[in-house]
Chains A and B, each alone.
Chain A
Amino acid sequence: MLKKGISAIFLLVAIVLVSPGARAGVPDWLHAAAQQPAKHYADDVNAVVLLDDQETTIRDTGEIVTLRRIAYRILRPEGKTVAGFGLGFDAETKINYLRGWSITVKGQEYEAKDKDAFERSATTYEVYSDVKERILIVPGADVGTVVGFEYEHKGRPYIFQDQWSFQREYPIEHTRYELRLPPGWEYRADWIHHSANEPVERNGAYTWELSDIPRIETEYHRQTEDALAGSMVVTFFSEKIKNQTYKSWKDFGFWYNQLAAGTREPTAALQQKVVELAPASMSPLERIKTLARFAQRDIRYAEIQIGIGGYRPHSAGDTFSHRYGDCKDKATMLGAMLSQIGVKSYSVLVRTDRGVYTENTPPSSQFNHMIIAIQLPEASSSQPMPGVYEHPKLGRLLIFDPTNDLVPFGQMPFYEQDNYGLLITEQGGEMIHLPISKPESNRVTRTAKLTLLPDGTLKGDVEEVRTGTEAYKARSRYSHQTESDRKKALEQSLGGSMTALHLDSMDAQNVDNIEGDLVLHYQFTAEHYAKNAGPLLLVRPRVTGEKMGALDSTKPRRYAYQFDSPALETDSFEISLPEGYKVDELPDPAKTSLSFGEYNSKITNAGNVLKYTREYKITSPLIPAERIGELNRFFREINMDEKSIAVLKRAN
C-alpha cells in the first residue's frame, strides 16, 4: 500500500518525451497567485506553495468529487521538480481532468493538458496493482517560475472521508478547503497536529482557510512526515450511507468487518493442513506457534491489488492454496487456521511508521499494514512474551506479524512496538497502544579476547550475541547475503575504525533459526592498531561497536529524535599487552544517566591484561525535541569514551 516517489529515470524519460505544449491559457487564479509579492524564505527552501485550494463536493449519490488548484513558486534549482505533478487513480477512482500551467520570470506562459500527461504504475513492489499515477510536467521550470495545476478527481465509492493535508515539505502561504454537502448530509472535522478551526459557512458551503504554514524539515532520525504534519480529516454522514461510514474507531471496525466478511472461511484443504500441522496432541501454545510459523514462513509475501483488494484480503483458502499473499492475506489465513483449533484471533490494522497514529488520532484510513492479535490460552500466562497486550476484556493477546518472517513468535518488529493499532473484533474497532519491549529483550553482548603485539598489531577473537530487535536487524541483513557478502560487510564495518584489517574467520549462527540468539563469531588481525609514540604505545581499548548517534548541532532541533527500540548493549574486551610494556595511564571511566538511557564504561588493568567494559542502554525510543540537549550530551560522552586511549610504556 506504500506509494513510491517519481523515479528519476521516469522523469528523464518523461521530460524527453514531453510534448511541445499547447497554447497557454493560464487561468486567472494562477495569474493572481503569481502576482503576490515574494516573501523571504531560508536559502534551503526549494519552492513555496503560493496557493492550495481544494473544493470537495459530496453528491447525494455519495459520490465525492474533489477540485483542487495548487500553485508553486520555484525558489531554487532543486525546486524545479514541482513542475511535475503526480495524481493517483485506479479502477474505482477517476481523474476527470488534470491540467498545468507555468508563468516564467520573463512572463512567458505555458500550458500542459491531459493529453500531455503520462501514466505509470504507482507502485513497484507488488506483483500487480491497478493503482496508477498520472503525471503532468509543465514546461518553463526555472527559478522564479510559478507553476500551477488543476484537477478534478472522483473518490473511492466506499470511503466516505476526505483529508485536507495542509503541511508538507514546502512552506504554504495560503490554503483553503471548501466542503459542499447535499441536504441531509453532515460532516465531522477532526484536526491532526493542529488546533481546531471553525469553518465559515456561506451558501451551503463550509470553508476553512490557513496561511503561512511552515514546512516539515528534514532532520536526522525524526519521525515520518505524516507523524508531524498538520491535516484535517473530514468524515461524512447520511442516512443513505448508514453503516458505510464511521464516527468512531468502533464504527471503523464494523466497517472493516463488513468489508472482510467471509474471508476467514476455511476450505477442506486448509482444515486438513491444520490437523496435519497442529494435532490436538500438542499443547495449545505449541499449536498456535506452529500455525503462526506456517503463516510466517511458508506463505510467501506477494501482493496482487485490484481496486478494493487494497483493503479487502483474499480468502483464506486462496492464500493457502497459492502459498502466497500480502499482509492482510497472511493475517486472515492465520486467523482461519487458528479458529480451527478453537483459538480466537483478531485483525489489527497498523501504520508501520510509528507516530502517525496516537491515542488522539481520529478514525481515518492511513494504515498500511495488517497484523493479528491472538488470544492466548490461560495456560500460557507463565511464559513471558514481549509481544503480549493485556486486554481488559479479551485477556492476553499476542500481537503477531505473520508478514515479518524474521521476528520470533512472542515478539514484535520494532516498528510496531510503542505504536498504535486498530484491534478489530465483533464489537467493532478499538485503538490500542501496542506493547514495547524492555531494553533487556534487545541485547547485543560483545566479548573479545585480543592480543596486542609490540608493532601495534591487534589480533584475536570476538563474539557477538544478539537478541530481540538487535537480532532482527542483523538477520534482515544476513538473510539476503551469501557468506562471502557477510564477510565483506563485516570487513566494511570493522574497517571503519581499524586499519589494514584482515578477517581471519567469521561464523554466524542461528541466522535461520529465529527462535535462537543470533551469534556472530569472528577472528581478525588489524595492523597499525596501536600507535607507537617514542617509548609509548597508544591503544584504544574500545576496539569495535560504535554507538554514537548523529545530530546536527548547527541548527536548533525541531522534532523528536527516534531510536528504533529500547536496547541494551554490553561490551567486554580483554587485550593482552605485549611483553615489556606496562600501563602508564588510563582514561577515566564514563558514566552518564539520563531520562532515556544510560552509558557507562570502565578500563582496568590486571597483570598484563587491559580490560574494557561498558554498558549502553536506551530505555525510551522517542526523545522529545526539548530533551535534545541531553541527547547531545549523551552522544558526546559516548564519543569521548569511544575514542579514549590507554597509554602503554615500554619498560626500560
Chain B
Amino acid sequence: MKSVYLRLLVVILGLGFFTYGATPSEDWLPVTTQDLQIKEVPGTPNAPAIQLYYAHYIYVDQNEEAQFFYCRIKLLTDAGRQYADVEIPVFPGVKLTDLQARTIRPDGSIVTFTGSPFEKTLIKGRGFKLLAQTLTLPEAGVGSIIEYKYKLKAWAFRSNHWDVQHNLFTVREHFRYLSPSTFVPVTYVVSKSIPKQPSKDKNNFDLELENVPAFEAEEQMPPEEIYKQVVYFFTGYMGLPDFFWATKMRVMATDFEEFIGDHKEIRAAAEETTRGVTDSQEKLRKLYARAQQIRNLGYERERTESERKKEDLKPSKDVVDVLKHGYGFHNGISAFFVAMARAQGFQADIVVAASRKERFFQKGLLDGSQLDSVLTVVQVDHKDLYLDPGTRFCPYGTLRWTIAGTTAAKLYKGGGSFIVVPGSGADKAMTWRTAHLTLAEDGSVKGNVIVKFEGGEALEHRLATVSTDEAGRNHDMEEEMKRWLPPNATVKAISSQGWDQQDAPLIANFDIEVPAYASIAGKRILVTDYLFQTRQKEAFKHSVRKYPVYFPYAFVEWDEITITLPPGYVLESSPERQQIATDVGNYRRVSEVTGNQINMKRMLLLSGALFDVKIYDQLRAFFATVQAGDEAQTVLQRTDSKAAVKPN
C-alpha cells in the first residue's frame, strides 16, 4: 500500500515539476571556416542559396507549447538575396518572442539586426487577426550568411510535425520534440523518403540529418505531400493507428446511422419513387435519380447566416429533413440515398473515401480529414455497386476519378473497416472528336468539329463549369479546343448540349479555321492528317524523371478527321498505318485518301493513372511514337506543273 502512495506521489510531483529532459542549446552557432568558404550547393550549380543549418525544437507542456526555430542561410547568387527578407506568420493565440537576427559578412564579421520587426496585417476582422512579423537584414549581399532565430509560444498544442525538407538544400538539421515523460504516450510517423528514424527516449525525440536535398516538384507528379520529408507526432492512445481509425470509423458510423435512421416518410418516398418497377437494378436507378434531384447546396456559393434565414435554408438533422427541404449537401444527399435504398430492401452503406485529388491516403498519418469523400455502396444481385449520389452530375454506376481506386472506410453499425474503392478503366472516360474540314489551296483548313465527352470526361467538364453560365461554358470549351489545335487557330463554339443530362454524353460543336495548316513546297501540299495536338506531350518533354507520372485517370480518345482536298491534286504518299499495344497504352492510326478526301482515324488509350518512375522511359517512348504518328503527313502533288498557291 505504501508503494502505491509513493508511486502516486511521484506521478503528482512529475505532473507539477517535470523537466523537458536535456534542453538543447539555443545560442548562435559558431561560424565555421567551412560556412564561410562554401560557394555552391553540391550538384546544383547556380542554386540561389544554401541553408547551412536549420533547427526546430518543440517543447510540449501540460497547457502550452513552445517552438524554437533557427535558420542559417548563405546567399550564393543575387537571386538568393531574397532570403534576407524574413516574414514569420503569427497565428491567433501564438506569441512570437526572442527574435534575433544577424548578418555574417563574407569576412566573418557580424552585423547584428538592431531594429524592431514590423507587424504586418495579413487579415484582420471580427475578432480574427492573422499577423506576420517582418524584417530585412542589413548588408546581406552575395557571399553573406544571414541567420535568425525565434520562439513561438502558444497556449495549446498547435504543431505536430517537423518539416524536414525545404526549398533549399540544407547542410545540417536538428529537430527535437520534448514532452514530459509523465505525459500521455507520444508516437510518430515519418514519410517514406526520410533516410533516418528519429531517436526516442520516452516522450523525447531527436533527429539530426545532413545534406538534405531541396524538394523540387515535377510536372504531372502525384501529390507532392507524400514525397516531402516530414515527421508527424501524435499523442495519447489516439496515436495508435488501429485504435485511431477504429474510433474515427465508429464516430462516423454512429453519426451517419443517426442521420439515416428508419423513417416512415422515407419508406413512403422510396415506395412512390419505385412504384411499378420490379427489376432491382431499375429500382436502384430510380432511387439514385431521386437522390440527385435534391438541390445540392455544395455547388452553390457560401451563404451567410442572414441569407440562410431570408432564403429559409435550414440545416437537416436527418434524412427526413433532406426529403422535406428538398435540398442538402453532399453527405446528406448520400445518406438520403442510403435510407431510400434500405427502405426498398437493399443492403446499402455509407463509404468514406480518401480523395486522391490533393493527397494519397497514409494510414500511419493519423489525420481523420484524410477520409473526406462520402459515397455509397449497395448490394445488387449479390454484387457491390459503388454509387456517388452526392456528386452533382455523377452518372449512375460512375465514380469520380478522385475517389476511384482509393482507400476508404466502409461504415456499418458501430464501426467500419478499410476497403479499396474499385478503380475505373479507360472506357469510363472517353473523348470522341469528329472533324470535317476543307483544305484550301493556300494551305488553310476550315470546317466543323464535334466533340463528345462520355463518362468521367463528361462529368469533369460539367463540374468544371458548374458555377458559370452558357457564355462561360462556351468560352471554356473554346479555350480547350484552342489548346488542342495549332496556336494560330480560330475557334467558335456553335452549340453544346448535355450539360444537365448526367447520363447522356456532353456534345459540343465548333467552327474552326487554321491558317497555314498545310505546308506548301513547290507543286506539293503536305497535310498533317491528324488535326489535334498530342495532349499529353507536355508531361514527357524532360528526359530525366525523379517521381512517378500521374494522370488523374485512364482514358480513351477516338478521333475521325475528314479533309476535303482542293481540286487538281493527287496523292503522292500517305502515312503508313500504325498500331501499337503496350502495357502503358494502345495507339492506332490509319489514314487513306479516297477520291478528294483524306480520311483519318485514330485511337489512343492510356491504361492507367499512376506510372512508376521505373517505366518512365517506356512511357515517354510510347508518347513519342504517338506524337510522331500524330504528326505524320499526307503528300499531295498538283496534277499540272504550276506551283501551289501561296496566300496573299
Contacts and interface: CB of A to CB of B under 8 A. Distances in A.
Contact of A527 (B122, B135, B516, B624): B624
A80 B301 contact: yes
Contacts of A536: 572-573, 635
Interface stretch (B40-48, B318-326, B360-368): B40-48
B537 interface: yes
Given A20-B309, A488-B542, A500-B627, 8 more contacts: A43-B470, A108-B307, A321-B138, A322-B139, A482-B48, A533-B574, A586-B522, A647-B526
B25 interface: no
Given A121-B120, A499-B624, A533-B635, A482 B44 contact: yes
Contacts of A158: none
Given A77-B468, A484-B44, A550-B487, A640 B124 contact: no
22 contacts: A15-B301, A108-B310, A121-B122, A127-B85, A139-B303, A139-B307, A300-B84, A324-B136, A405-B78, A501-B541, A503-B543, A512-B78, A533-B572, A536-B572, A538-B526, A550-B487, A553-B490, A587-B522, A588-B522, A640-B646, A643-B516, A644-B521
Given A110-B307, A323-B140, A127 B134 contact: yes
A479 interface: yes
A483 B77 CA distance: 13
B516 A500 contact: no
A298 B84 CA distance: 13
Tell me the dominant secondary structure on chain B's binding face: mixed
Interface in A500-551: 500-503, 511-512, 527-528, 531, 533-536, 538, 540, 548, 550
Contacts of B301: 15, 80, 141-142
A2 interface: no
B81 A76 contact: no
Contacts, number: 231
A643 to B, nearest CB: 5
B123 A44 contact: no
Q: Which of the four size classes fits the interface of chain B?
A: 35 or more
A393 interface: no
A128 B134 contact: yes
Nearest to B648: A633
Interface in A466-513: 479-484, 486, 488, 491-492, 495, 499-503, 511-512
B63 interface: no
A17 interface: yes
A213 interface: no
A297 interface: yes
A483 B46 contact: yes
A76 B521 contact: no
Nearest to A15: B302
B519 A20 contact: no
B138 A639 contact: no
Contacts of B248: none
B220 to A, nearest CB: 13
Given A118-B123, A127-B118, A640 B516 contact: yes
Nearest to A546: B487
B48 A304 contact: no
Given A503-B543, A538-B526, A554 B122 contact: no
A527 B627 CA distance: 11
Interface string B43-86: 01111100000000000000000000000000001110100110
A336 B85 CA distance: 26
Interface in B140-156: 140-141
Q: Which of the four size classes fits the interface of chain A?
A: 35 or more
Given A479-B79, A499-B627, A640-B647, A534 B572 contact: yes
A504 to B, nearest CB: 9
B123 A119 contact: yes
Interface in B291-348: 301-307, 309-311
B573 A585 contact: no
A434 to B, nearest CB: 25
Contacts of B123: 10, 13-14, 118-120
A534 B575 CA distance: 8
Contacts of B120: 121, 128
Interface string A252-291: 0000000000000000000000000000000000000000
A19 interface: yes
B620 A500 contact: yes
A479 B134 contact: no
Contacts of A579: none
Contacts of B47: 482
A120 B302 contact: no
Nearest to B541: A495
Considering residues B41, B77, B139, B519, which has the most beta carbons from chain A within 10 angstroms of its beta carbon?
Answer: B519
A281 B471 CA distance: 70
Interface in B566-590: 572-575
Contact of B139 (A132, A323, A500, A550): A323
A528 B631 CA distance: 9
A77 B469 contact: yes
Given A323-B139, A534-B572, A536-B635, A118 B125 contact: yes
B449 to A, nearest CB: 15
B398 interface: no
The 3 A-B pairs at the shortest CB distance, nearest first, are namely A495-B541, A118-B125, A20-B305
Interface string A321-333: 1111000000000
Contacts of A492: 541-542
A588 B647 CA distance: 12
Contact of B519 (A10, A512, A587): A587
A298 B143 CA distance: 12
Contact of B118 (A18, A304, A482, A646): A304
B159 interface: no
B84 A78 contact: no
Contacts of B380: none
A1 to B, nearest CB: 17
A202 B573 CA distance: 82
Contacts of B310: 108, 110
